[in-house]
Amino acid sequence: MSLRDHFDAVTADTDRADGLAVDRDKAIAIAVFLIPGLTLFTIFSVAPIVYSAIGSFYSWDTFTMEHFVGFDNWIRSLTDPLIVNWSNMREFQYPMGALTHNLLWVVLHVPASTFLGLALALLFADLKGRRILRSMVFAGFTVPPIVIGLVLMFVYDPQAGIFNEFLRVIGQGHLVRNWTQSPQVAIYALIAGGIWVHTGFSMLLYSSALSAIDPSLIESAKVDGANAWRRFWDIIWPLVKPVTAVVVIMGIIWVMRMFDIVYAAGGAAGGPNHAYSVLGIEVYRAAFRPQIDYGMAMVVALLQLFIVAPLALYIARMR
Amino acid sequence: MTDDDPLNPTGIDAGADTVNDHDRTRYLRTEEIPETAPEADLDWQTRLNETIPTSKRALTYLVAIAVAVLWIVPFIGLFMASFRPLSEIIGGWWHVEGMTFTLENYYQAWDYSTAPMGRALRNTFIVTIPAVLIVMLLGVMAAYPFARFEFPLKTTLFFLILLVMAAPPELVAMGNYNALHEFGLFDTYMGLILIHIGWGLGWVVLFLRNYLLGIPEELEEAARIDGASRYQIFRTIILPLSTPALVSVAVIQFTWVWNAFFFPLVFMRSPELYLAPQVLPLMTGRVQVEWGMIAAGSIMTMAVPVILFLLLERYYKRGMVAAVAD
């Protein structure tokens, strides 16, 4: 009989009694670790979301919940011209409604920043000093977005703005204007600014995917006589494709949350006559600016969540 | 080599190198050592040609540097404008001849009448530092059971965390506004700190959980056999081993809380409590935009996160990539 068997024989009958004690110890430990964090998380993140979901079906006297009204808030908000302005959309006149503006951001900003991010990641991939180059492009993403909004106003200013100076230099002086305050073009000016900031983030994700590629793969393709175009499509693209999904979805989330940049350029109204208002701005106005309409604020904020939530869950499932 | 991949600094390259090094550094026996020093295999002409990049490569460098510089032109403009009088800014900050250097804009922003930047920056520190430290502690505590143990409602909690991460900050503003009024914490540092903690915990827990999954469990089992309690294991094994991830969390959370504009806008209403990002849009006056003062205020506000990013760049980038891509 070995020592091992001795031990087993001794511990065998104590195991069952100990098992319960261990389980209790473990349960207490889990609770001690989890409860402080989960309490704050529940009170300040989960509960307010539930509150909004319930509140969107009630009528409100400023900040006090009154009685159940069914889909009233939903119908009122979704037909509000500030959210979707059908008649202006038909004439392609801004404002077209915050939801439309948000979707326009998605359609223009996301492909552009994804494509530029990949292009810059490839351009910097094997250069000396790539860390500095990448940091220069990425730096804008660490700057407070409210500063980005003010910088955009500065860049597009008719006298002090370098963009208008650039137009003058290339002989397009007739186009000079205060870009962020001209209703029909301002949204494009802001989207260009959004692309400028967000490309750094896309580039960062692509760069880390690119550096995971085995360089010998590319070397051997070179030896086999594959040109740059073939090397990209046959080797690099299949390997960075999964990252593209993440880049695109993070782009959509970032754009759907847009608030600071628009607020800096256009104030709580989202530009002259709401010309480039977004959903976040409409929530803020409905909830905290006079004519307070809590019900509408909750509906619009939930709308933002509904657009983004399936995408976030998709990322989670990819893991 | 190490400057490249933020996730996996020692790549396949490093592996191949070690093998070569091993071969190369094999010692020669005395009789094998030649009398004369080895001559260069290549004459200097060829070597020079190899060192100087080809014209195609030089062009790539040129384009890359041009793009990177172009990318920061708006920030260069902001920086220049912050040191120049308004008249010169209106004329265009890119005219450098006859430039006047002044700190007037900084003094003006520092003592801005509605909400002086000096006070606003102090307020931002008061809110940001506790919000970051507490999130780190509570986050790693909550992440530990998520990584190691099974417990009821685990999947549900996971789903809730993901849902909150997808939610826009506007969605929690209404509920928190009423809750803070209820608690008597509206328009206080404490209220805003708590909201930032509750909001940040979701991603911090998820991020740290992913990191803890990568720490081998054998270490903890060994400690358990030595009779360490779960709390001792947490303090002596888990915390020290997760330091790199905690630094990433600290840098990213600091940047987010510092840069946050929407939460302060909603929850800080008295001008004495305004945070720095909140003050900046107030500076755009009605008649003439005070570009110099705005630029100076913006530079002071952005300096903190940007310097932090430059100092801890590796942790920041690694965290950013891991947070979304893992």
Q: Tell the residue number behind the tokens 């800096």, with chain if given.
A: A264
Question: Rounded to an integer, what distance in angstroms lies between the CA atom of residue B126 and that of residue B76?
Answer: 29
d(CA A252, CA A249): 5
Residue B3: predicted pLDDT? 45
Would you give the DSSP letter of residue B228?
Answer: -
For residues B90 and B127, membership in a common domain is answered with no
Contact A279, A303 (CB under 8 A): yes
Q: Cα(B142)–Cα(B149) distance, rounded to whole angstroms?
A: 11
Domain assignment present for A26: yes
C-beta atoms surrounding B271 within 10 Å: 15
First to last CA, chain A: 49
Omega of the bond prior to A95 within 30 degrees of 0, cis? yes
Q: Give CA–CA dist A58/A74, Å, rounded.
A: 10
Any A CB within 8 A of B285 CB: no
How large is the average pLDDT for residues A82-88?
Answer: 90
Domain co-membership, B257 together with B130: yes
Cα B200 to Cα B164: distance, rounded to the nearest angstrom: 10
Q: Which of A153, A162, A297 comes nearest B73 by C-beta? A: A162
Tokens of B195: 């909201």
Measure in Å the smallest separation between the Cα of A109 and chain B Cα atoms.
17
The pLDDT of residue A79 is above 80: yes
Same domain, B63 and B197: no
B81 and B126 co-located in one domain = no
Q: Give me the average pLDDT of each 10-residue run along chain B (326 residues).
A: 45 43 57 68 67 78 93 94 90 86 92 91 96 96 92 87 90 94 94 96 92 89 88 91 94 95 95 94 81 94 94 90 74
Residue B234 gets which letter from DSSP? I
Count up the domains in chain A and report the number.
Answer: 2
Residue B225 Cα, gap to closest chain A Cα (Å) = 14
Task: Give the DSSP letter of residue B281.
Answer: G
Quick one: average pLDDT of A308-312?
89
Tell me the per-residue pLDDT of A231-245, one tens digit each, with 9 for 90 and over.
Answer: 888 888 988 888 999
pLDDT confidence of residue A239: 87
Residue B119 to residue A17: CA distance in whole angstroms: 61
Compute the nearest-CA separation of A91 from chain B (Å).
Answer: 31
Any chain A CB within 8 A of the CB of B54?
no
* φ/ψ (deg, to 5) at A106: -60, -45
Residues of B in Cβ contact (< 8 Å) with A259: 169-170, 261-262
Number of domains in chain B: 2
pLDDT of residue A13: 46
pLDDT of A22 strictly over 90: no
CATH of the domain at B315: 1.10.3720.10
Neighbours of B21 (CB within 10 A): 9
Structure tokens at B54: 């080809």
- Which residues contact residue B56 at a Cβ distance below 8 angstroms, ignoring those fewer than 6 apart? none
More confident residue, A66 or A12: A66
Q: What is the pLDDT of residue B70?
A: 93
> What's residue B19's pLDDT?
44
Mean pLDDT within A185-191: 94
CB contact under 8 A, A159 and B325: no
Residue A248: predicted pLDDT: 94
Same domain, B96 and B222: no
pLDDT average, residue stretch A103-110: 96
A61: helix, strand or coil: strand
**What pLDDT score was predicted for residue B13?**
43
Amino acid type, A219: E
pTM of this structure: 0.85
Q: Which domain holds residue A208?
A: 75-318
A97 belongs to a structural domain: yes
In sequence order, what DSSP letters do the residues of A275-319 get, joined into one string?
A: TT--HHHHHHHHHHSSS--HHHHHHHHHHHHHHHHHHHHHHHHH-
CATH number for A198:
1.10.3720.10
